[in-house]
């Protein structure tokens, strides 16, 4: 399968760009940046990369209800004298609306950029790119092992729960009954996993896990010229934008 332009990018460069945009949105505090610049660009990139459907599903499901709540709380409950609409205890204010817009705009920058990074990046590749910049082996291990461990343990927990049900442990009923079902389901799983750690440690050491040699990598990742330049270009753009916003006489506020 051919990789899209975002998927092809060096993982670390993508992550840096995402964080640069996030920081910029916090600093400039203009809701237009999130809603009119970053959000449309990210959706466009997802489209170009051929990931539009799964990406937009993730973004929307993360945003809609969350943002609705924020708007409700901020727009109606921010103390203000500038009320534009009122119904019983609900008072919609200009300041509240402005605050909600700014807040959700910043959140949307982080959400849309990071989700695009994770959608278009293999996590092992991301780890390799971080390891190449000096992140310790053990950090990559913790991350990657967790990602494999979670679905595996989840599968086992469901098996155990069924077995416990078959043995007559109630998993439905009042809250006390359900709370009591929690421990016998979780504890065998935890105890057996921890008991295996001794052998797992030996397994890893048998593969030179704590070797003092510097690691080499099977995944042949390297940053292309564009991957090295682009974060700097974005940084420059962000700085220029901030100057435009903050320096009197140049523009903005």
Partner 1 sequence: MKKYFGTMTLILIPIAIAVNFIGGQLASILKLPMYLDMIGTILVAAVAGPVPAMVAGGVTNLILGLSSPTWIPYAIVQIACGAVAGYAAQKGAFKSFKWTALTSIGIWAAALLTAVPITTILFGGIAGGGGGSVITAFFLTTGQGLWESVASSALITETVDKFLSTFIVFFLVRSLPVSTLVKFPLGKMYVKDSE
Partner 2 sequence: MKALEVKNLSFKYLIGKEKVFENLSLSINKGELVAIIGRNGSGKTTLCNLLRGFIPHLTQGDLEGDILLYDDSILKMDLSDLSDKIGYIFQNPFIQISGIKETVYEEIGFGLENLGVPRDEMIRRIEEIIKLLKIEDLKDKHPAELSGGQRQRVAIASILAMDPEILIIDEPTSQLDPKGTEEIFEIIKILKEQNKTIILVEHKIDLIAEYADRVILLNDKNIVFDGTTSEILSKEDVMSYGTNLPQIAKLGIEYNNKVEKLSKIPSVLEEAVEVFKDKV
| 86: β partners | 91
Q: In whole angstroms, give the CA distance from residue 87 to residue 183.
A: 48
Binding mask 144-163 for partner 2 (x = CB under 8 A): xx--xx--x-----------
Query: If contact means CB under 5 to 8 A according to the sort of partner, which of partner 2, partner 1, none does residue 176 touch?
Result: none
Q: Which is nearer to partner 2, 80 or 193 (CB)?
A: 193
Q: Which is nearer to partner 2, 168 or 214 (CB)?
A: 214
* Of 7-15, 27-35, 110-118, 138-146: span binding partner 2 (CB under 8 A): 138-146
Burial (Cβ within 10 Å: 0-12, 13-18, ≥19) of residue 242: middle
The closest alpha carbon to 8, from 230, 238, 239, belongs to 230
* Of 63-71, 99-107, 111-119, 200-208: span binding partner 2 (CB under 8 A): 200-208
- Give alpha helix (H) positions in 78-196: 94-120, 123-132, 137-166, 175-195
Query: If contact means CB under 5 to 8 A according to the sort of partner, which of partner 2, partner 1, none does residue 66 touch?
Result: partner 1
Query: If contact means CB under 5 to 8 A according to the sort of partner, which of partner 1, partner 2, none does residue 216 touch?
Result: partner 2
As given in the structure block, the two tokens for residue 241 are: 């934008």
Q: How distant, in Å, are the alpha carbons of 65, 112, 141, 151, 192 from that of 15?
A: 26, 12, 19, 25, 37
Q: In whole angstroms, give the CA distance from residue 106 to residue 67.
A: 11
Query: If contact means CB under 5 to 8 A according to the sort of partner, which of partner 2, partner 1, none does residue 217 touch?
Result: partner 2
- The yes or no reply on residue 80 touching partner 2 (CB under 8 A) is no
Chain residues that interact with partner 2, rule: CB under 8 A: 124, 137, 140-141, 144-145, 148-149, 152, 196, 198-220
């Amino acid at each position: 399968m051919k990789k899209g332009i975002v998927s092809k990018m060096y993982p670390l460069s993508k992550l840096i760009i995402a964080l640069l945009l996030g920081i910029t949105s916090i600093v400039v505090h203009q809701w237009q940046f999130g809603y009119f610049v970053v959000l449309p660009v990210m959706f466009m990139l997802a489209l170009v990369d051929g990931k539009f459907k799964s990406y937009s599903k993730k973004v929307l499901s993360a945003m809609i209800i969350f943002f609705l709540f924020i708007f409700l709380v901020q727009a109606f409950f921010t103390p203000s004298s500038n009320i534009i609409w009122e119904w019983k205890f609900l008072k919609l204010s200009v300041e509240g609306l402005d605050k909600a817009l700014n807040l959700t705009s910043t959140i949307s920058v982080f959400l849309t950029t990071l989700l695009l990074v994770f959608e278009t990046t293999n996590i092992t590749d991301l780890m390799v790119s971080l390891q190449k910049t000096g992140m310790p082996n053990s950090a990559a291990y913790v991350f990657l092992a967790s990602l494999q461990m979670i679905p595996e343990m989840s599968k086992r927990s469901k098996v155990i729960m069924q077995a416990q049900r078959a043995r007559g442990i109630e998993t439905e009923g009042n809250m006390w009954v359900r709370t009591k079902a929690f421990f016998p389901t979780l504890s065998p799983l935890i105890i057996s996993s921890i008991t295996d750690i001794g052998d797992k440690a030996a397994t890893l050491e048998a593969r030179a896990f704590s070797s003092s040699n510097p690691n080499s990598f099977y995944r042949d990742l390297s940053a292309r010229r564009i991957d090295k330049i682009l974060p700097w270009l974005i940084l420059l753009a962000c700085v220029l934008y901030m100057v435009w916003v903050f320096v009197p006489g140049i523009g903005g506020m």
